[in-house]
Amino acid sequence: MKNRGFYLDLVRMLGFLPRTLSLYKLAFIPKSALKKDSSGIHLNNERLEYLGDAVLGTIVADYLFKRFPDADEGFMSKIRARIVKRKTLDYLATKINLPGMIDPAIPLANNAKHIYGNALEAFVGAIYLDRGYNAARRFFEKKIMAKHIDLAKLVQKDPDYKSRLIEWSQQNRVEISFESKEEQITGKNTPSFFATILLNEEEKGTGRGDSKKEAEQQASKAALKTIHTV
């Protein structure tokens, strides 16, 4: 009976009949879950999330390529990054009631983050394995893109350098950190600030400014140039 309820909820969410129920069940076991099978092996959706991340990136890239036939690579990359970043995926997962598919009885680690967005990626991975790329594409375009993403708003949005760098790091799963310090320049009465950007603990950009914000903006701009997104 429990499986039947899960199956019916899944059909309503998907809009078609799933074939391999076990894939979808696995998609809703967060990688932070403290769950094991009878052999003591941890069960989680990490592998499906990895696959779904790649499939989702392709779906969104394909959609934007067709939607904006005259756009350059930089523009499409920015819009794609805004759609597939962690915060947006968490939001989209809640819009399709994906959190309700996760068994509340499954214990989770205390440091669990982005459970819903990760589960959405794993869900897309499950659809891909179960029914193929076109089914995954139709699901995301019809159930999510068409209903819950304001593409016009995303296009009009003009993020600053720091925001663009943060979006890029989230999209590419690169660890980012900002280090800022105040400097006193000889002959200048007001303080200046110096900022350094680290990507995966490697220095990628520096900048100076009359405020911490300005210094970080300049450092972010320099970092974006090193990864060829400016």
Q: Which of 49, 53, 90, 130 is catalytic?
A: 53
* Weakly modelled stretches of the chain, pLDDT under 70: 1-2, 34-41, 70, 107-113, 155-160, 186-190, 229-230
- Per residue in 108-128, pLDDT (tens digit) is 655 556 889 999 999 999 999
> Is 90 part of the annotated catalytic residue set?
no
d(CA 54, CA 181): 38
SS3 content of the chain, % helix, strand, coil (to 5): 60, 10, 30
Averaged confidence pLDDT in the chain? 85
Taking CA atoms, 109 is separated from 31, 42, 104, 115, 116, in Å, by 9, 13, 13, 11, 14
> Is 160 part of the annotated catalytic residue set?
no
Q: Which of 49, 121, 130, 216 is catalytic?
A: 121
Amino acid at position 64, single letter: L
- Per residue in 42-51, pLDDT (tens digit) is 788 999 999 9
**Going from the N-terminus, what domains does the chain have, and what CATH number goes with each?**
2-156 (1.10.1520.10), 161-226 (3.30.160.20)
